[in-house]
Chains A and B, each alone.
Chain A
Amino acid sequence: MQNSQIPTSPIEDGDIELLEAFLDDELTPAQSLLLRDRLASEPNLAGELEQLRAERKLRANMFLGLEGGEEAIVERILAQVGPAVPDVAAKVSDRAGPTRLRLRYAMAAAACIVLGFLIGWMGAAGGKSNARASEAPYRVEILDESGQVMAVQKFQSLEKAREFSDDLQQWQIRQERLLNGQVTVHSAKY
């Protein structure tokens, strides 16, 4: 092996940083020139540069693999933020757009929670869940802005249904305050 016959000095951490800055295009022209001279005369340094390039190529391909699938997500997000709200409406009432927006957002998040409760409750009931659900005469329905039912929770008593509904409203008020910046979350635990 030719390389083994040439005396080589170990690559120092500072040299690796220099090579990284070179690949990041962060060296001045003078620094680049000096480094190029060194690369021409120090094969181990040149080898290290190639190694760094190979690692970077792997990462570049990994990053490219993260792209895609955004179309459906963008449509969902735009539907949430309601960019179709005309600017005229925003001018007439400065709060009209953001208020609707927050309510819509809060409602979507609330629906997720309700669904979670529903699944948890049905799961806890085990094999009797279907029978219990069909027997429950009181329902709390979560609607979106267009009036469509997003989730349903059933209760055995009106009192329980009201309690649940009140809790949900409180949660939405908190959520709106949070979005308004009036309060800050210090813990995600409830």
Chain B
Amino acid sequence: MAETTSDLFEKAVRLHSRRLLAIARAIVGSASAEDVLQQAILNLYQHRDRYDWTQPAGLMRRTVVNEALRLLRQPRMSLVADDHPGRSDSPARGMLDDEMIQQVRKAIARLPEHFRAALVLCEYENMSYVQIAEVLEASVPQVKTWLHRGRRQLAEKLKAFADERKLKDAK
């Protein structure tokens, strides 16, 4: 029996939510990520008959990113760098410097919203510059600039943190 739109919709939500939630967390922080995901899914559900649910990944990603950026643009709305507990079962977790990762998270949270969104789509979603430009409704050179500046800002912040830590360790 052929699957209905509702079946396909639900399947798509279940399949892609893990990554969509991580994208939302990276852009708006953990505190508002659930709201972003909920609103994005609600928007998609309302117009579910318009979309092709056999290939929903791009559509869902675009909707979540747009919703996250919309939320950040609202008056009185500002990003709070929160501490998502993360995955305690992550095999890489034990090997890595948690403190440094916390610093990366905080530094990313302080980037301008478009820098942050471009970085997430590029490095977490492995999207091409052209695809990122499409999602963020920008030009490819603009995306390149956002990525470059975002990365430089992060590198500077992390360098400052590493220098500070070296100084502390030396004492």
Instruction: Tell me if A62 and B144 are in contact (CB < 8 A).
Output: no
With beta carbons under 8 angstroms apart, the residue of A26, A84, A86, A98 that contacts B128 is: A26
Instruction: Tell me if A65 and B41 are in contact (CB < 8 A).
Output: no
Instruction: Tell me if B93 and A65 are in contact (CB < 8 A).
Output: yes
Instruction: Tell me if B46 and A101 are in contact (CB < 8 A).
Output: yes
Instruction: Tell me if B17 and A73 are in contact (CB < 8 A).
Output: yes
Stretch at the interface among A15-23, A117-125, A169-177: A15-23
Instruction: Tell me if B155 and A55 are in contact (CB < 8 A).
Output: yes
Enumerate B87-103 residues with CB–CB distance to A below 8 Å.
87, 90, 92-93, 96, 100-101
A73-B21, A78-B13, A87-B6 known; A55+B87 contact, CB < 8 A: no
Instruction: Tell me if B5 and A87 are in contact (CB < 8 A).
Output: yes
**At the interface, yes or no: A74 with Cβ under 8 Å from chain B?**
yes
A16-B148, A70-B17 known; A55+B154 contact, CB < 8 A: yes
Shortest beta-carbon distance from A10 to chain B in Å: 15
**At the interface, yes or no: B22 with Cβ under 8 Å from chain A?**
yes
With beta carbons under 8 angstroms apart, the residue of B42, B49, B92, B122 that contacts A64 is: B92
Q: Which residues of A contact B37 (CB under 8 A)?
A: 73, 77
Shortest beta-carbon distance from B119 to chain A in Å: 7
Instruction: Tell me if A67 and B22 are in contact (CB < 8 A).
Output: yes
State the CA gap A13–B90 with chains docked (Å). 35
A17-B144, A67-B87, A77-B37 known; A62+B101 contact, CB < 8 A: yes
Instruction: Tell me if A24 and B10 are in contact (CB < 8 A).
Output: no
Instruction: Tell me if B46 and A62 are in contact (CB < 8 A).
Output: no
Residues of B in contact with A, size category: 35 or more
Nearest CB in chain A to that of B84: its residue: A66
Instruction: Tell me if A62 and B6 are in contact (CB < 8 A).
Output: no
Q: Which residues of A contact B55 (CB under 8 A)?
A: none
Q: Which residues of B contact A25 (CB under 8 A)?
A: 128
**At the interface, yes or no: A81 with Cβ under 8 Å from chain B?**
yes
Instruction: Tell me if A188 and B123 are in contact (CB < 8 A).
Output: no
Shortest beta-carbon distance from A144 to chain B in Å: 16
- With most chain A CB atoms within 10 A of its CB, the pick from B5, B74, B123 is B123
Residues of A in contact with B, size category: 35 or more
Q: Which residues of B contact A160 (CB under 8 A)?
A: none
Q: Which residues of B contact A101 (CB under 8 A)?
A: 42, 45-46
Nearest CB in chain A to that of B25: its residue: A66
What are 28 of the A-B contact pairs (CB < 8 Å)?
A16-B148, A17-B144, A20-B147, A20-B148, A21-B144, A24-B122, A24-B129, A56-B123, A60-B123, A61-B92, A61-B96, A63-B123, A63-B124, A65-B84, A70-B18, A74-B13, A76-B38, A77-B13, A80-B38, A80-B42, A81-B45, A83-B6, A83-B9, A85-B6, A101-B42, A101-B45, A101-B46, A187-B75
- Extra contacts, 16 of them, besides A21-B144, A83-B13, A85-B6 (Cβ < 8 A), are A13-B148, A25-B128, A26-B129, A59-B108, A60-B123, A60-B124, A61-B93, A67-B18, A67-B22, A73-B37, A77-B34, A77-B41, A83-B10, A87-B4, A87-B6, A189-B75
Chain B interface residues toward A at CB < 8 A: 4-6, 9-10, 13-14, 17-19, 21-22, 25-26, 30, 34, 37-38, 41-42, 45-46, 49, 74-77, 84-87, 90, 92-93, 96, 100-101, 104-105, 108, 119-120, 122-124, 128-129, 144, 147-148, 151-152, 154-155, 158
